[in-house]
Amino acid sequence: MLDLSKYQSIGAALKDALDRFANEVCLIEADREREKERLTYRDFQQRAHPLAKALQDAGFAAADRASIIMTNQSKWLISAYAIFFAGGVLVPLDYKLSPDEQWQLLKHSGAQVLITEYPIWRQLSMAPGRAAAANVRTIVVTEAPANADLTGAQRWEDFRSIGEPDFVPRARTDVACIVYSSGTGGRPKGCMMTHENYLEQCVALTSLYPFWPGVRYLSILPTNHAIDFMVGFFGPFTCGAAVVHLRTLRPEYVREAFSKYKITYVSLVPLVLKNLQKGLQARFNELPSGKRKVLNALIAVNKALTKSRPRLSLSRRLLKQVHEPFGGALRTIIVGGAFTEPQTLQFFYDLGIPVANGYGLTEAGTAITVNDLKPFRADTVGKPLPGMEVRILNPGADGIGEVSVRSKTIMSGYLNEPALTSEAIVDGWLMTGDLGRLDDTGHLQLFGRKKNMIVTEEGKNIYPEDIESVFEGLPVKEFCVFAANFIWPRRSMLGEQLVLALHLETGQSLTEELRRDISTRNSKLLNYKRIHGVVLFDEDFPRTASLKIKRNALAEQLAKLDREAAFLPL
Amino acid sequence: MRTLEQTTQEVLDLASQHFNVPAGSLAPEDDFFKKLGIDSLQTLEMLSRLENHFGIELPDYEVQGVSDFRTLASRIQSRL
């Protein structure tokens, strides 16, 4: 691994990595059963430099911003490297957002360059939001069909210049990326992450979960997400490891990839991990009772022998039939993006497949705590990573309070939002809004949230204010969306739901017609953003002088209602 | 060559078989996430089954943001 303490920027570290590991494989891209591409670090450099040069020829300079909206593929990483090489600031956006949401964030970020895929550009180019984002001057589109009308965009494959690009150095304190943690409805929260944030996070994570040449990481989580950016790009690249991209995420091809490419690490969201668990459990249940008993006995032996630490070789020998479908080289499943149920973690650990669960926020530069497996503790989210100071603010008698964190990985602030920044970072400590407790061994346990938001099992952060616009015009006196646990706090990270608080007109009732109207509007939201129920409130919502709803005060009033009786499922 | 109506009906039939719901209980305009109570992973499984049935490849990007049977059927139809 490169000694990252010597580097000032992501670009400088990656530049050296490409030279140092020139002959190692860095990227494999497959589409279903077909391998489309296999690049060494030298190949990667040869693809990226003409792009960096073309960006520079187009006037892209130090601190200029360029956005990538792409599914996971080699061109994502090549484009990102070219942006860093040219001294730019990367704005990675979620390809699953709607085109108008993407334009909104492109405008907010001030991106001058957009690099995207043709199917995404097809939607983006027709969206009304395009007109407002005049700041995006250069648009580069990958994989466009030969006869496609690119409406002002250029082909990625042709966007290349001859000659060596100039490497543009950046300082550790300069912004490397603007990563949106939320805010497509109200105030976008663009986390300004510095080069130091990433360099320090990479050192901390790889101290627990190292990469080296020959390691293969299966990249499934979107690369715009902080986790995949770190463990599916920057981490493996600074260690000479390889990243495997799949162009389709159908379960059968994902399963096949484990054995075909001898995957070492993979990151998953809890939903996918639970699905894997279900599949394995179903397989076990189908075994004849004799074989089932043998398997259970072997699992019990493995469990006893791995109590204090994982013993991969031993587990692979003991439970060969379980490990073989995973390719036999899998060292750890990294799970993140949302809270994972302890029983799921324990299920895999008992099979000899350690799951590195952790806890983090985009604002904190990926991970704050990670389970170090020494020993494995399914009931916690692990210990703070090296360099992270975690403290619990105003703990109650049970030791539970708000988790706050201080480290070199904390963002420098929210873009254009000094007030929001000073609420989030107080005296250098990031207020996470999550409730937790540190136990005697220094492991962090989580117990719900203080903040008005939910995180789905797919790792999606949903803020109520971001989805309210879909209910505008609803024929009621007033409405407001909340995380149900924000109104009625529960000491749990599971089963989080959104609820629509309604104040009906005098004499109005929640008729079938109104329910249908709510459901129709709700179905316009992406499935994971939808509200789960309604709560009726028959008083005027408290408002500020400028007539904005005082959410905290309203939540306090709603909390007086009995949750079970008041929550009307849709 | 199938008509869009035929394709839509076959999509509905296959979805009802795959998720074990009564034939005829699904309609073209239904939101399959909501009607079947399925998540994105289960949707991908259904897509694989549809691909095998129709003998086509449906790239993930083609079905990005699609949540009703009618639109899904039209995406399939365009590749038949």
Q: Are A156 and A142 in contact (CB under 8 A)?
A: yes
- Angstrom CA distances, A36 to A31, A33, A50, A259, A445, stand at 7, 9, 21, 17, 43
Distance CA B60, CA B51 (A): 12
Kindly report the CATH number that applies to the domain delimited by B4-77.
1.10.1200.10
pLDDT digits (tens, 9 = 90+) for A18-32: 999 999 999 999 998
Please list every residue in chain A whose beta carbon sits closer than 8 Å to the beta carbon of residue B31. 523, 527
In the predicted structure, residue A78 carries a pLDDT above the cut 60: yes
Residue type, A315: S
User: What average pLDDT does this structure show over A536-561?
Assistant: 90
Cβ–Cβ gap B59/A119 under 8 Å? yes
In the predicted structure, residue A63 carries a pLDDT above the cut 60: yes
Q: How many CB atoms lie within 10 A of CB A295?
A: 17
pLDDT score at B39: 78
- Domains in chain A, CATH or no CATH each: 4-260 (3.40.50.12780), 385-451 (2.30.38.10), 454-569 (3.30.300.30)
pLDDT digits (tens, 9 = 90+) for A238-277: 999 999 999 888 888 888 999 999 999 999 988 889 888 9
Q: Is residue A498 classed as helix, strand or coil in its secondary structure?
A: strand
Q: Are A263 and A353 in contact (CB under 8 A)?
A: no
Distance CA A185, CA A167 (A): 37
User: What average pLDDT does this structure show over A131-140?
Assistant: 96
Tell me the residue ranges of DSSP E strands in A488-565.
Answer: 498-503, 533-536
User: What average pLDDT does this structure show over A10-21?
Assistant: 98
- Sheet order of strands, A25-31 included: A34-40, A25-31, A242-246, A216-219, A265-268, A332-335, A355-359, A369-370, A383-384
Listed residue (A58, A108, A116, A117) closest to A88, CA to CA: A58
User: What average pLDDT does this structure show over A157-181?
Assistant: 97
Please name every residue paired with A534 in a beta bridge, in sequence order, or none if there are none: A500, A568
Q: Is residue A448 classed as helix, strand or coil in its secondary structure?
A: strand
DSSP state of A543: B
User: What average pLDDT does this structure show over A174-180?
Assistant: 97
What is the complex's ipTM, to 2 decimals? 0.74
Residue of B nearest to A520 (CA): B31
CA terminus-to-terminus distance, chain B: 8
Does residue B5 belong to the interface with chain A, where contact is any CB pair within 8 Å? no
pLDDT range class, residue A407, cuts 50, 70, 90: very high
User: What average pLDDT does this structure show over A88-94?
Assistant: 97
pLDDT digits (tens, 9 = 90+) for A342-392: 999 999 999 999 999 999 999 999 899 999 888 899 999 999 999 999 999
Please name every residue paired with A138 in a beta bridge, in sequence order, or none if there are none: A113
Residue with tokens 């790239």: B59
Site from A252, A523, A531 to mutate, B interface, most B CB atoms within 10 angstroms = A523
pLDDT score at A186: 60
Distance CA A460, CA A231 (A): 18
pLDDT score at A183: 53
User: What average pLDDT does this structure show over A125-129?
Assistant: 93
Listed residue (A368, A357, A411) closest to A392, CA to CA: A368
Q: Which candidate from B34, B48, B60 shows the least CB-CB separation from A523?
A: B34
Average pLDDT of every residue of chain A = 93
pLDDT digits (tens, 9 = 90+) for A196-245: 999 999 999 999 999 999 999 999 999 999 999 999 999 999 999 999 99
DSSP state of A88: -
| pTM of the predicted model as reported, rounded to 2 decimal places | 0.87
Does residue B47 belong to the interface with chain A, where contact is any CB pair within 8 Å? yes
User: What average pLDDT does this structure show over A390-408?
Assistant: 95
The first and second tokens of residue A125, run together, are 């180019």
pLDDT score at A305: 95
Q: Is residue A57 classed as helix, strand or coil in its secondary structure?
A: helix
Q: Which candidate from B40, B60, B65 shows the least CB-CB separation from A248?
A: B60
pLDDT range class, residue A465, cuts 50, 70, 90: confident
Per-residue pLDDT of chain B (80 residues; tens, 9 = 90+): 889 999 999 999 999 999 999 988 999 999 888 888 887 778 888 898 999 999 998 888 778 778 899 999 999 998 88
Domain boundaries, chain B: 4-77
The first and second tokens of residue B16, run together, are 């009802």
Residue of B nearest to A270 (CA): B41
Nearest-CA distance from B69 to chain A in Å? Answer: 14
